[in-house]
Chain A
Amino acid sequence: NAGVMQNPRHLVRRRGQEARLRCSPMKGHSHVYWYRQLPEEGLKFMVYLQKENIIDESGMPKERFSAEFPKEGPSILRIQQVVRGDSAAYFCASSPGQSGNTEAFFGQGTRLTVV
């Protein structure tokens, strides 16, 4: 049973370009969470999705950031018109259920560098 798969592992974008980060949850998991880890900071929640639905996007910046989890395929975190401050590690976690009592499993992350 493969773990949570994120790709790419490293992504370099010039200012103003778009970044697309992908996350395939563990088999059987239909709940996906995205977190961001800025340099020298802890992980911060961004968005929680179930298949075809955004459940909680309270941690996601209102502009330039969007997320989706289509019926088929991976979850995508999209950052438009990237700026240097978007440089960070972006982690995806999946779980089999919504409850706060379920264990989350994390991917290896995508490290975005904006130059």
Chain B
Amino acid sequence: KQEVTQIPAALSVPEGENLVLNCSFTDSAIYNLQWFRQDPGKGLTSLLLIQSSQREQTSGRLNASLDKSSGRSTLYIAASQPGDSATYLCAVPDSSNTGKLIFGQGTTLQVKP
């Protein structure tokens, strides 16, 4: 059974720092991995989708890497800003191949001005 774990659960950094969020999964047979952002009381915004054949994806100050063999993904945020404060979730499709996602518990990030 696929399980997704995110470390740390919470992170507080001063503005301008580069930071790394971690996501690990137990079953390496995944099609892709997706990173989402969730603001308090809001929905999920997709940030990056990494296909299993890719090792990384970049969007602006965000860079996500994927190492299937070790069951890990990292989300790197460069030059963090207060507007980056949110909860970051990673998710992988479960092995049933029906498209349903297994989510980690999330990392709640606070970037202080």
Partner of A97, one of B44, B99, B101, B102: B99
Partner of B105, one of A42, A100, A106: A42
Residues of B within 8 A of A93 (CB): 101
- Known interface pairs A43-B89, A101-B31; A56-B46 also in contact (CB < 8 Å): no
| CB of B12 closer than 8 Å to a CB of A | no
| CB of B34 closer than 8 Å to a CB of A | yes
- Known interface pairs A56-B98, A111-B41; A43-B103 also in contact (CB < 8 Å): yes
Which residues of A are at the interface with B, using a C-beta cutoff of 8 A? Answer: 6, 31, 33, 35, 41-45, 48, 55-56, 59, 91, 93, 95, 97-109, 111
- Looking at A35, A56, A100, the one whose CB has the most chain B CB atoms below 10 A away is A100
- Known interface pairs A91-B44, A99-B31, A106-B44; A45-B100 also in contact (CB < 8 Å): yes
Residues of B within 8 A of A44 (CB): 103
Q: Return A98 CB to nearest CB of chain B, in Å.
A: 6
Q: Return A65 CB to nearest CB of chain B, in Å.
A: 16
Residues of B within 8 A of A41 (CB): 105
Which residues of B are at the interface with A, using a C-beta cutoff of 8 A? Answer: 30-32, 34, 36, 41-46, 49, 51, 89, 91, 93-94, 96-106
A-B pairs with CB below 8 Å: how many? 76
Residues of A within 8 A of B45 (CB): 106
CB pairs A–B below 8 angstroms (27 shown)? A6-B43, A31-B99, A33-B99, A35-B101, A42-B103, A42-B104, A42-B106, A43-B91, A45-B94, A45-B102, A48-B99, A56-B96, A59-B100, A91-B44, A93-B101, A95-B99, A98-B98, A98-B99, A100-B93, A101-B32, A101-B51, A101-B93, A104-B99, A104-B101, A106-B36, A106-B43, A111-B41
